[in-house]
């Protein structure tokens, strides 16, 4: 641990000029800095004072969405307990405050012993719950020393990260031994966890929390968008796009408009720092563009053939409910894809590129059920156009997607039951 801490300190010191520049030029690098360094926010201290606490860590937007129902069910299972939620990113912080009302939300502290110990002394958590694959060595060690059980829920080991874990498994084995319980998304992830050093008796399969992440029509922005749509407009939602994909979609869009002139594209870039650049790209492509951030302040009509730029956080999942077709990004570029279930739960037919390693098991399950369309870049426009022409066939794809979603539900209940069992066993000791 001393070597790890020394290396972490060296990285921070050497990188200090870079981070100082970024902090001066970007608010997201200044956000929560004091808390990350160990000055615990007063509102967090007030929220947990004199109460039992469960600490849930969700890195960013995807993990926060997965944790939403889990947090609610933990509150029910532990009445009177505060479920405090930390995130790493600014976007995750915003979404957590929006979705997890009633839970104090704060930034994960830097992984130094003195900083982590300060948080553990203030929170005194009954347990720490880590979402998916967020493992910080010093945090694991300090929780072990403090007698705080740690559970990794919705655990996954991606195709990309598994070889790296295997190369360093001798280093990971003692750290994974600090974790009381691993609740894996699948049998494959459970097997991989054991291979990289997790104690086999602590690894269980409870399923994927994302299958329980049901989204209702709760977004005022989306409701306003629906009201302002031109009559008989057809919505195509392109969500979680990454650098390069926006241009591909705009180049493919004429094919869709040729068969359905009343189509409206909702374009939702994954990262907020790209919003302005994508707005400029849309304008340069010759399409009318309405920015959601301006639209909610001054609503205007959304015309057929235009592009609605969803430059807000937390509205995409609900926006999918209005779609006739959905494209899920991060998949036409080699970045592993994003979650297709956000659209599939509404029986919306999903189109993705060939890069889906981050959600491979989920996509392969949908693919086997003929519940998703995987395309190369040059097929994108034709595939979307084909779905707009043959609505019945597209609707059937969407219904099969929803059936996959429904068949896999229940992971949250199994996860909470396992966590309560873990707490009971530790209490008995």
Active-site residue among 63, 132, 260, 342? 63
* Alpha carbons 116 and 225: distance in angstroms, whole number: 44
**Residue 126 CB-density burial (10 A; 0-12 exposed, 13-18 middle, 19+ buried):** middle
* Alpha carbons 9 and 250: distance in angstroms, whole number: 44
- Within 212-327, residue ranges assigned H as helices are 220-228, 245-259, 275-284, 292-295, 316-319
Backbone angles phi, psi at 4, to 5 degrees: -60, -45
Return the bridge partners of 374, or none: 352
Q: Which tokens sit at 107?
A: 């930034």
* Alpha carbons 190 and 206: distance in angstroms, whole number: 10
Q: Which tokens sit at 350?
A: 């999903």
Exposure string for 18-51, b = 16+ CB within 10 A, e = fewer: eeeeeeeeeeebeebeebbeeebbeebeebbeee
Catalytic residue at 63?
A: yes
Catalytic residues: 63
């Amino acid at each position: 641990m001393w070597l790890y801490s020394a290396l972490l300190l060296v990285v921070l010191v050497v990188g200090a000029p870079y981070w100082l520049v970024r902090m001066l030029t970007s608010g997201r690098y200044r956000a929560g800095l004091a808390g990350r360094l160990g000055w615990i926010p007063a509102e967090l201290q007030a929220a947990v004072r004199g109460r039992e606490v469960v600490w849930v860590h969700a890195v960013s937007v995807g993990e926060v969405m997965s944790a939403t129902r889990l947090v609610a069910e933990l509150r029910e299972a532990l009445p009177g307990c505060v479920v405090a939620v930390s995130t790493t990113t600014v976007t995750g912080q915003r979404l957590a405050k929006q979705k997890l009302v009633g839970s104090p939300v704060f930034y994960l502290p830097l992984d130094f012993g003195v900083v982590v110990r300060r948080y553990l002394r203030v929170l005194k958590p009954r347990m720490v719950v880590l979402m998916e694959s967020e493992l910080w060595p010093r945090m694991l060690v300090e929780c072990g020393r403090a007698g705080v059980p740690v559970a990794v829920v919705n655990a996954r080991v991606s195709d990309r990260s598994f070889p790296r874990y295997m190369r360093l498994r001798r280093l990971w084995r003692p750290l994974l031994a600090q974790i009381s319980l691993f609740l894996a998304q699948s049998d494959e992830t459970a097997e991989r966890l054991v291979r990289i050093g997790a104690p086999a008796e602590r690894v269980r399969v409870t399923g994927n929390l994302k299958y329980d992440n049901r989204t209702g029509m709760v977004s005022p922005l989306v409701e306003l968008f629906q009201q302002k749509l031109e009559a008989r407009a057809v919505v195509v939602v392109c969500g979680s796009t990454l650098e390069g994909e926006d241009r591909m979609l705009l180049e493919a869009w004429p094919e869709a408009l040729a068969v359905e002139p009343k189509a409206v594209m909702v374009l939702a870039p994954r990262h907020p720092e790209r919003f302005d650049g994508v707005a400029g790209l849309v304008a340069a492509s010759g399409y009318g563009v309405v920015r959601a951030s301006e639209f909610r302040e001054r609503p205007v009509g959304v015309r057929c053939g235009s592009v609605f730029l969803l430059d807000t956080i937390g509205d995409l999942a609900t926006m999918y409910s209005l779609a006739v077709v959905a494209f899920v990004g991060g998949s036409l570029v080699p970045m592993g894809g994003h979650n297709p279930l956000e659209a599939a739960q509404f029986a919306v037919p999903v189109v993705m590129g060939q890069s889906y390693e981050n959600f491979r098991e989920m996509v392969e399950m949908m693919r086997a059920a003929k519940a998703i369309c995987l395309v190369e870049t040059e097929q994108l426009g034709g595939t979307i156009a084909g779905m707009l022409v043959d609505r019945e066939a597209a609707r059937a794809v969407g219904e099969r997607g929803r059936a996959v979603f429904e068949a896999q539900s229940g992971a949250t209940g199994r996860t909470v039951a396992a966590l309560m069992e873990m707490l009971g066993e530790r209490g008995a000791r």
